[in-house]
Amino acid sequence: MHKVIAAAIDSNILSTSESFIDQCCGQNAEYARNYDEKIYEFRAPPSKHLAIVCCMDARLDIFRILGLKPGEAHIIRNGGGRIRDAVRSLVCSQTLLQTREVMIIHHTDCGFTYFSNNNQVLAALKLQPGTDVGNLPVFQTIPGQVQESNKPDFMPIIDLEQSIRDDLAEYKKYPMLNQNITVRGFLYNTKTGLLKEVI
């Protein structure tokens, strides 16, 4: 937990004179020089009909990890790679763009494993200037489920393999998601680069 808090505090010390977004815009100009617009000629579904739910961790290069090319899959990212945060995107992916398989990928050294409960996450957030977590229900619960409190659920991860099993089970609680397709869960090992399927 201390590592996450320290990193968040350090990020506030960045120089405001030069924005990294400006650097990204400059790199985009370089990218555009050799750009191939053919990928956008058709508004097609992902060619491999695959949707992947994974963590927003900036170190994870899902395209390289899975050997994917642009246009082959939907990549839906959020903190921890949790199904609950991905439902809206998954519904659109399946219904409008014909994805027929889902991969759920969690990973070792995930920031959400540094917290053992919601109170620890909320305490870390309160350390950040201008953060008002208040009592707003930031994350919606499963329809019909009674929330124990009106505090947001940040879904800290105690056990990585269990969190994948929990998300596989959570998927089944949403009738708007296609329940007749393949949904599989994996743990990505950041030390080896290998995926392990969690049954």
Q: What is the pLDDT of residues 126-170, one digit of tens each?
A: 666 665 555 444 444 444 444 455 666 777 778 899 999 999 999
Delineate the domains of the chain, giving CATH numbers in brackets.
2-14+44-198 (3.40.1050.10)
Residue 74 assigned as binding residue: no
Query: 66: which 2 tokens?
Result: 């899975």
Say how far apart CA 104 and CA 52 lie, in whole Å. Answer: 6
Question: Residues 98, 45: contact at Cβ < 8 Å?
Answer: yes
Say how far apart CA 105 and CA 173 lie, in whole Å. Answer: 19
Residue 57 assigned as binding residue: yes
Confidence band, pLDDT 50/70/90 cuts, at residue 36: confident
Residue 107 assigned as binding residue: yes
Phi–psi pair at 116, nearest 5 degrees: -100, -10
| Burial degree of 125 (CB within 10 A; 0-12, 13-18, 19+) | middle
